[in-house]
Amino acid sequence: MARVPRPALRLWALASILTLHAAWIQVRPCAAKSQQASTLVCDPFTETLCGATLLSAEHGNCIQLRVDDPDRPGGSRFRVKCWGWGGRGMNGIGPEDYTVDPEQQWTGTWNNRGDEPNEMGDSLPFVDFDFDHDGHGPGSVQLSRTGSNVCAIDGATRELKCFGDPYELGQLGGSCRVSQCHGGPSCATCCCLGSKMNAVNLGTNQRAMQVAAGGYTTCVIVEDRVTLARGLKCFGRGGFLGLGHDDDRGDNGAEMGDALPFVDLGTGRHPVQIAAGHSHVCAVLDDGSVKCFGSNSYRACGQPTDSTNTGFGNEPGEMGDDLPSVDLGEGRTAVQICANVAYSCVIDDLGGLRCWGNHPGRGDLMYAPDSVNVGSDTGAVVQIACGGYNAIHMCAVFADGRVKCWGSNGGGQLGLGDTNTRGRGNTGNMGDALPYVDLGTGRTALQVTAGDIHTCALLDNLQVKCWGNAAYGQLGYGDTIQRGSGPGDMGDSCHT
């Protein structure tokens, strides 16, 4: 199957960002990340292999940074740092972040990062994916994170590597279970970071182009190195993988590689973007249509729910041409997608926002695909972020770089100086009644991300600001003080 050229129409959604910020840029966070790091804003619909620079999920974040080194061939490479909740080794640091119990040395505690002074900045180690290649190669080129695993694509080899704690369901595809990487007496050889981190076997000649790590599943857009044909492969918990059965995939090597089937998305169709929720996956296809499979709870797959279709893809005859596309409205196509445990959203080709399932902007309990009212003066939506596993909040960046967030707000994650919910069945506080987030004097956003009860933004001055709950250090501010819920928390205050 030959690769189909992507329509030029899809490039416009990020045009306002690309025009101003497509150059290499120097990250200068308030008090946190490496002073030698920079990042590239790019368009996922071009041939450029790249992905989200800043990611938030559940109680943590990861950022992909360009590290400049004049003594290194090529001068720079991309590397990854993670902070926040450290349980099960989720910051990818390894034994030095594991405190062994002196009384019972076979037990211990994983440390959080960002909740104590002097844990960020140069004190925050890079994740060792072993992407250095003896000083050559670009490092990581695309990144995805959930609360239980992180995946990255090697820019030199296009290999996929993941780490985390998969609960033995196969979401890591045989890569790296860092929760065992604590250096205790029973773990002399089990630390799988660095050179011990195995690449996921995606099959003969298959290279990874984009990865989406979900709660129970990991899905990868792959490209054949010879034919350039693209397809989708998913592994993890059975029933959510679109393979026509309920068997787990990836919990042993015999299920991966050429033995792992492609997901059938329909005759002549291939994916150009994917999003993984907790137990469902959505794909934007080359014709701009959207198909979702997995659990259809709350209509997260964009289809009616009854006793016969509580999910899609776990039985024969439910995928391919038999899998219906999401109704985006007459003539509408998708240019960007995100997914959450109970809902999914797209930016359509007119710059509007459409969501389905139990999404925070809904006005009733129908959960059908619908247009979300974010206001009359916003202009086009250029980037969206669905919240983490337990989150019912989301955010959008508009063409002028302003940001709005709506949904649950118990931790101040909407950044509006209070804890009042917006949306969630009350659309009277949506639209023009929904305030913009105050990012600081003259500041706009390049990107916004949403975790469970916190939110982060990469700003035009290349600072990172985070607000909401800080119990696990996810704001990176060296304390556990909640921000965004009271007066004086936002604006020119620094939240990183």
pLDDT score of 243 more than 70: yes
**pLDDT band at 45; cut points 50, 70, 90:** very low
Give φ, ψ of 308 to 5 degrees. -100, -15
Task: Calculate mean pLDDT across residues 297-309.
Answer: 83
**pLDDT band at 184; cut points 50, 70, 90:** low
Per-residue b or e along 40-79, where b marks 16 or more CB atoms closer than 10 Å to that residue's CB: bbbbbbeeebbbbbbbbbbbbbbbbbbbeeeeeeeebbbb
pLDDT score of 301 more than 70: yes
What does the pLDDT read at residue 191?
A: 62
User: What mean pLDDT is reported for the chain?
Assistant: 84
What does the pLDDT read at residue 309?
A: 67
Cβ–Cβ contacts within 10 Å for residue 307, how many?
A: 5
Q: Higher pLDDT residue, 36 or 208?
A: 208
What does the pLDDT read at residue 388?
A: 82
Verdict on whether the full-model pTM lies above 0.85 = yes
Close Cβ partners of 328 (under 8 Å, ≥ 6 residues apart)? 289, 290, 334, 346, 348, 354, 369
pLDDT score of 4 more than 80: no
pLDDT score of 30 more than 50: no
Highest mean pLDDT among 88-92, 145-149, 210-214: 210-214
pLDDT score of 358 more than 50: yes
What does the pLDDT read at residue 169?
A: 81
What does the pLDDT read at residue 74?
A: 66
Task: Calculate mean pLDDT across residues 320-332.
Answer: 96
Sign of the C-alpha dihedral, residues 232, 234, 240, 242?
positive
pLDDT score of 374 more than 80: yes
Q: Higher pLDDT residue, 103 or 42?
A: 103
Q: Which domains does the chain have, with CATH numbers?
A: 8-350 (2.130.10)
pLDDT tens per residue across span 126-166? 999 999 887 777 888 889 998 889 999 998 899 999 988 77
CB 466 within 8 A of CB 458: no
